[in-house]
Structure 1
Amino acid sequence: MGRKGTYSRREFLGASAAVGATLVLPKNVFAQGSDTIKVGLIGCGGRGTGAVIDAANADPGVVLWAMADVFKDRIDGSANTLRDNLKDRYKVTDDRKFVGFNAYEYVLMSGVDVVILTAPPGFRPAHLRASIEHGKHVFMEKPIATDAPGVRSVLGSSEMARQKGLAIVAGTQRRHDVAYRECMHRIHDGAIGDVVACYAYWNQGGLWMHTRRPEWTDMEWQLRNWLYFTWLSGDIIVEQHIHNIDVCLWAKGKLPVKAISLAGRQARTDPAYGHVFDHFATEFEWDDGSKLISMCRQIDGTASRVEELVVGTKGTSNANTVIRGEGAWRFDGDRPNPYMLEHRNLIQSIRSGNLINEGRQVAETTMTAIMGRMAGYTGQEITYEQALNDKVVLAPDHLAFGPVPVPPVAIPGRTS
């Protein structure tokens, strides 16, 4: 079992070195020369549990081999669900259930072939680096970091994966949706002409919140409510709205150079919701002067809208099912679950040796969203280079179940 005591951030980021010097199997060979793919789950919440089911649906060779989480009750709940769903492909024994901040290390040493990284995003850079150093193929949920140092770490890990012949697929599932892929192919072939503007929306009501219990330390409270703390989630523009931003970057084919944002915390003001904002309205600008207008909101009682719009010189598109204009088109075909397809594409790439590596792509989208958050928090225009080179580390110095002060809510014009 993983230890639960003090675990410094330096130890956490460097722990992977202890497990890095291991034998890496050829990229299309699995344990004992079989077609069985042993999967390890790191982060046993709802998304991680769902990701294992998606992976099992994607390939009959997938078995769940090991699990890790900071909380035993999360492992137990996930295990119950997965045992019922996977049947005889659930292979996790009690000695391969690991608890603690360093539990991920034990999964990596348990004989798995592929790891699913679904702990809160603030942990993703360290988990990814350890996984690649240990020679594992990776599925990792988005976003892949919550600050610029984390993004830079992921960029380095992605290059390491390329050099070591390892696959990385990210949870930006629209990139694997057959309708999005077909539509984007047509956009890139000129169906709407030059892309001159994009609009991205994720507006909805509020999400879950777990009321603090008297016995919870600051750390436990924050981990169980990770959405509401920037060091863990990145705030809503990074954690959720990244999907829509990613589609627009995909359509445009390059990164924006700067951003300005009007954002705040208007309705969700109770300290139970940490210190994150509840809305952002952000203008991203590319080097040719074209704009991405981005809106995200989590406020009950407000109008919902989750979509993208791409505007070209010859037409427009919702980026997945419809193109209007000179190259008019409508998607008409089977549309399998993209959450399953991202795992199928990962596994097929490993089996074939034509490895997918989405690490840089999702890191750059994450960085774009972080740039938008920085613009929102400060009220200033922020450039991509300024954001990428930022040195602020959001995570606490020590990962331990004890006091963790909550930063003040950002105030545009005052927060730097």
Structure 2
Amino acid sequence: RRFVGFDAYQKVLALDDVNYVILATPPGFRPPFLKAAVAAGKNIFAEKPVAVDAPGIRAVLAAYEEAKTKGVAVGVGTQRRHQTGYLETMKRIHDGAIGEISGARCYWNQGPIWVHPKQPGWSDMEWQLRNWYYFTWLCGDHIVEQHVHNLDAINWALGAHPASAVGLGGRQVRTDPVYGNIYDHFSIDYEYPDGVHVASYCRQIPGCKNNVSEALSGTKGFCQVNKYTITGEKSWKMTEKDNLPYVQEHTDLILAIRAGQPYNELKNIAESTLNAILGRMAAYTGQEITWEQALNSEESLMPAKLEWGDLAVAPVAMPGQTKLV
């Protein structure tokens, strides 16, 4: 069976013989799909990120609470949390292997990704859906869609989300209209509780030094998280074979469903997604933005009506001019 259209997800969820759904459409659709799937009592695997704006985050947090009440299992696509190397490294971090964490940095710097120029016969809506990565209402910008992995690892290590952020970003290379309205680079300074600062970098520009990693500095040592290495008083390096985290994240969810065990990863990914949205807001506006301001923002990036046809592209954010809504 196959359903098409903006209401296709509702038809899938109405099927009595469906008890497990995978939500892997562009992230802008994640909040309403999550809300509907939880209401329908379906177990869920949702790809990251889980929203592109604050209203979406608030909807996801509400879905998290409802899923707990109804006993609906929800797994998400933060595979590092199911990866043996990361699990072993984080266990040692939380056991004090590097002492108190005093600072951190994380990166997702890479080259360009795919792009789909508009073709004859495509409406604005069809083109934006096919070229979804380049529109904030669908993708959230690459700091949200991609760098959320690294930010989630940092939140995991610190056991907290940031209190505020300042940052910068822009469109240095991807300036053609085919690249929609997203940036091609961000640099964010996040401040966490107890004055811990995290330097966050993400970039999608060709011909540059690439780096996808997370690192932690502590009072008793240093950890290169992505390399499963600790140096200092309790030096350590994992030598065992790593697992396949993209498989394990589904295995863990399915085993919990079969065993009837509570399983809900929505809150962590909602906070990590908001972490990324917070950084985007700071870069887009050029202002210091607090966690509360980000969470309570009324800016909705979704179009007022989802229909085939004309759909104007929102202007590219301009620091110092774009306002926090």
* Corresponding residue to 2:145 among 208, 232, 239: 239
List alignment gaps of at least 5 residues for structure 1: 1-95
Secondary structure at 1:266 match in 2: coil
Residue identity matched to 1:367: L
CA apart distance, 1:388: 0.2
2:278 equivalent in structure 1: 371
TM-score (norm 1): 0.76
State the partner residue of 1:393.
300
CA RMSD of aligned residues (A): 0.8
Find runs of 4+ consecutive structure 1 residues off by over 6 angstroms. Answer: none
- What SS class does the counterpart of residue 193 from structure 2 fall into? coil
Matched, 1:322 2:229: yes
In structure 1, the partner of 2:242 is 335
Does 1:308 find its partner at 2:217?
A: no
Q: Which amino acid aligns with 2:7?
A: N
**Corresponding residue to 2:70 among 136, 148, 164:** 164
Which residue number corresponds to residue 217 of structure 1? Answer: 123
The one-letter code of the counterpart of 2:31 is P
Aligned with 1:409: secondary structure? coil
| Cα distance in 2 for residues equivalent to 1:114 and 1:292 | 37
TM-score w.r.t. structure 2 length?
A: 0.98
Query: Partners of 1:212 and 1:288 in 2: how far apart?
Result: 48
- Which has the larger Rg? 1
The 5 A counterparts of 1:14-25 are none
**CA shift digits 1:310-354 (9 cap, x unpaired):** 111111112241111111111122322100000000001111122
SS of residue paired to 1:115: strand
Superposed displacement of residue 184, structure 1: 0.1
1:190 pairs with one of 96, 102, 109: 96
State the 1:309 CA deviation: 0.3
Q: Does the alignment pair 1:354 with 2:261?
A: yes
2-side partners of 1:344 and 1:287: how far apart? Answer: 34
Deviations 1:142-170 (A, max 9, x none): 00000000000000001100000111111
CA distance in 2, matches of 1:168, 1:317: 30
What is the aligned partner in structure 1 of residue 160 from structure 2?
254
Q: For residues 2-401 of structure 1, what are the structure 2 equivalents within 5 Å?
A: 96-110=1-15, 111-320=17-226, 321-401=228-308
- Tell me the distance in 2 between the aligned counterparts of 1:273 and 1:137: 35
Q: What is aligned with 2:321?
A: 414
Which protein, 1 or 2, shows the higher relative CO under an 8 Å CA cutoff with sep ≥ 6? 2
Deviation sequence 1:62-82 (CA, Å, 0-9, x none)? xxxxxxxxxxxxxxxxxxxxx
SS for the counterpart of 1:200 is: strand
Contact 2:167–2:283 (Cα < 8 Å) also in 1: yes
SS in 2 for 1:99: coil
Q: Secondary structure at the match of 1:303?
A: coil
> 2:251, 2:241 → 1: CA distance?
16
Task: Report Cα offsets for 1:234-280 as digits up to 9, x if no partner.
Answer: 00110000000110111011111000011111100000000100000
8 Å contact from structure 2 (residues 160, 193) kept in 1: no
User: What is the aligned-residue identity percentage?
Assistant: 53
CA deviation string 1:386-409 (max 9, x = no partner): 000001110111101111111111
